[in-house]
Amino acid sequence: MAQRVRGVIAPGKNEPVRVETIIVPDPGPGEAVVKVQACGVCHTDLHYRQGGINDDFPFLLGHEAAGIVESVGEGVTEVAPGDFVVLNWRAVCGQCRACLRGRPWYCFNTHNAKQKMTLEDGTELSPALGIGAFADKTLVAAGQCTKVDPAAKPEVAGLLGCGVMAGIGAAINTGGVTRGDSVAVIGCGGVGGASIMGARLAGARRIIAVDIDQRKLDKALELGATHTVNSRETDAVEAVRELTEGNGADVVIEAVGRPETYEQAFYARDLAGTVVLVGVPTPEMKIELPLPEVFGRGGALKSSWYGDCLPSRDFPMLIDLYLQGRLDLGAFVTETIGIDGIEAAFEKMHHGDVLRSVVIL
């Protein structure tokens, strides 16, 4: 029987979100209903509310979540009722050309639940990133449920569902950071902070945090940065070069998503170094670089989407490291809030006052 639960809706472009009753159907074939325990407030949710993703309003916001599988539909074997899971927004198909070539983290045919959640009047909801987890319960594709150790706190585990995984993966999976490398991270919010943590986990020798907010730079030191650069006060490129024997960093991770910071990343890397773009640009943004510089510097210019992660591989591993005390995922949780506190959390995020506000359900 369909269930009526609370959910946070973005009704229209730039309109305040509101808590409404939503209808969650029973899971169909290949689907699961998850009782959400915690969900992080991510910039992507704000982008949805602002109309920056698409205009398929109303949206059911929330995607960075953990919870308990309540029920599953026909044919579901990977998870079962009672499993503690982190929700992911890349349920791989196993059949596309990327999956068949052994690169499922690039899956070109990821999928969501086929049924729609609705408002009480029957209006269909568009779940953020196919998840919609600012809700007591949500309907997802079973492949979007990644089983992890239930000893992890939900408010911590759920962060792997988006921002923290994107940052750690940008360093380890996309950037290929390894022992002895020098790494610069431009933009030290949640994703950039996770990139710093990922670089430390991978054994980077020097990790340079770059930001215009001294509060974020102070936090970056706690997360593993060895040096900081306040680019409001000094030239970021020159500062990174000075800290790397005049060479530039082996890997520069751009976690802002703006042309000016991408240009900084391009020039702050060493010859044959790697630039990783994990910050999300807006549709109108463009970058112009001298082609001889692109050619002459060699190396690689990469984009990192969801940290090039494979949830079934990466989520359980990172939760294990967290439980062993080797990965302080809890450092990203600035505050826990109720389901009615999301507008205020957006405001704090906009002003850089938090790494993550997490809704507890």
Residue 191 token pair: 């994703």
Q: What is the pLDDT of residues 264-282, one digit of tens each?
A: 999 999 999 999 999 989 8
Distance CA 217, CA 229 (A): 8
Mean pLDDT of 286-310: 96
Going from N- to C-terminal start, the domains of the chain cover 3-161+328-360, 167-304
pLDDT of residue 40: 97
Asked if pLDDT for residue 200 goes beyond 90, the answer is: yes
Reported confidence tier of residue 300, pLDDT bands at 50, 70, 90: very high
Residue 235 token pair: 């030239």
Strand partners, 15: none
Is the domain spanning 167-304 CATH 3.40.50.720? The answer is: yes
Distance CA 50, CA 18 (A): 14
Percent of the chain with pLDDT over 70: 100
Coil vs helix vs strand at 259: helix
Coil vs helix vs strand at 87: strand
Distance CA 24, CA 6 (A): 10
Please count the CA atoms within 13 angstroms of the CA of 62 that sit on its side-chain side: 40
Asked if pLDDT for residue 350 goes beyond 90, the answer is: no
Reported confidence tier of residue 198, pLDDT bands at 50, 70, 90: very high
Sign of the alpha-carbon torsion through 127, 133, 138, 142: positive
Q: What is the pLDDT of residues 14-56, one digit of tens each?
A: 999 999 999 999 999 999 999 999 999 998 999 899 998 889 9
Q: What is the pLDDT of residues 201-250, one digit of tens each?
A: 999 999 999 999 999 999 999 999 999 999 999 999 999 999 999 999 99
Q: For the domain bounded by 3-161+328-360, which CATH number is listed?
A: 3.90.180.10
Reported confidence tier of residue 283, pLDDT bands at 50, 70, 90: confident
Asked if pLDDT for residue 1 goes beyond 90, the answer is: no
Contact indicator for 131, 144 with CB cutoff of 8 Å: yes
**Residue 70 vs residues 31, 114, 139, 157, 232: alpha-carbon distances, Å:** 11, 18, 10, 18, 49
pLDDT of residue 352: 87
Mean pLDDT value across the chain: 96
Strand partners, 275: 252, 301
Which residues, 6 or more positions from 137, have their beta carbon under 8 angstroms from its beta carbon?
3, 5, 24, 33, 34, 35, 36, 70
Mean pLDDT of 188-195: 96
pLDDT of residue 308: 96
Phi, psi of 98 (to 5 degrees): -70, -45
pLDDT of residue 321: 97
**Residues present in the chain in total:** 361
